[in-house]
Amino acid sequence: MGCFHSKHLRQIPGYEDPTILASETPFTVSEVEALYELFKKISSSIIDDGLIHKEEFQLALFRNRNRRNLFADRIFDLFDYKRNGVIEFGEFVRSLGVFHPNAPTADKVTFAFRLYDLRHTGYIEREELYEMVLALLNESDLALSDDVVEMIVDKTFSDADTKGDGRIDLDEWKEFVSKNPSLIKNMTLPYLKDITLAFPSFVLNTEVED
Amino acid sequence: ATPVTMNAFELISKSQGLNLSSLFEK
């Protein structure tokens, strides 16, 4: 029975061996198998092709396939590191690994930096920060005048851009996060520690034992 | 905090798009 499932799974595009994924991430083999259950659920919600399309990601996040959101787009793009427009299983597990409570803080800090570096310049530019604050205001009930938004961005930049060159580089970002650790709070998902309870995997457990 | 003393990154980290916990809701 295990062999049958094993052969079947290898034919799924983007499927990767849980033991390899577990060796490269903070997850155990059982947790990777549980993540596969979650992955299957999300990746079959609209198009059942074993890949997570952006609409499926939006549906899983917002319960609405058409809800666009700048930050969800950025997360999707970072998960899709092959940049082929879909999230494969290996990409899903490796990316979520950063959000594991036991993942190195340095990985979380770097991931957040890449997330906010909207134009992939290697810096968080003032314009990008302004754009992100506007995007946040757009999705919330918080109404702030343009002047106030400018002041918030200016104040944050004066605190974070210690070299004063009008942009935040990775070193400045690391220093800024070390002074404001709450900034990467959303880079940790406690759920990932209980993933085997939330998504028990019965089929794959017959294949591999921890 | 008054708006001008808010940290812009603190503000944007509250975005629903960055809250991946909803992926795990059944």
Contacts of B2 in chain A (CB under 8 A): none
- How many Cα atoms within 13 Å fall on the side-chain side of residue A1? 6
Question: Which has more confidence, A15 or A17?
Answer: A17
What are the backbone dihedrals phi and psi of residue A104, each rounded to the nearest 5 degrees, phi first? -60, 135
Please give the residue of chain B at the shortest CA–CA distance from A57: B23
pLDDT in tens, A1-10: 444 455 555 5
pLDDT in tens, A19-67: 999 999 999 999 999 999 999 999 999 999 999 999 999 999 999 999 9
pLDDT of residue A2: 43
Contacts of A155 in chain B (CB under 8 A): 4-8
Interface test with B, best of A152, A157, A183, A195 (most B CBs within 10 A): A152
Please give the residue of chain A at the shortest CA–CA distance from B19: A186
Q: Is the ipTM of this complex over 0.85?
A: yes
Mean pLDDT of chain A: 90
Nearest CA to A138 out of A61, A57, A71, A74 is that of A71
pLDDT in tens, A130-166: 999 999 999 988 888 999 999 999 999 999 999 999 9
pLDDT in tens, A78-110: 999 999 999 999 999 999 999 999 999 999 999
| CA of B2 vs chain A CAs: smallest distance (Å) | 10
Nearest CA to A56 out of A36, A39, A71 is that of A39
Alpha carbon distances (Å) from A11 to A29, A30, A118, A179, A205: 20, 21, 35, 47, 18
Q: Does the pLDDT of residue B5 top 80, yes or no?
A: no
User: Average pLDDT in the B10-24 region?
Assistant: 93
Q: Is A33 exposed, middle or buried (0-12, 13-18, 19+ CB in 10 A)?
A: buried
Interface test with A, best of B6, B11, B14 (most A CBs within 10 A): B11
Alpha carbon distances (Å) from A138 to A6, A54, A69, A119, B11: 46, 21, 10, 20, 12
- Residue B2: pLDDT band (50, 70, 90) is low
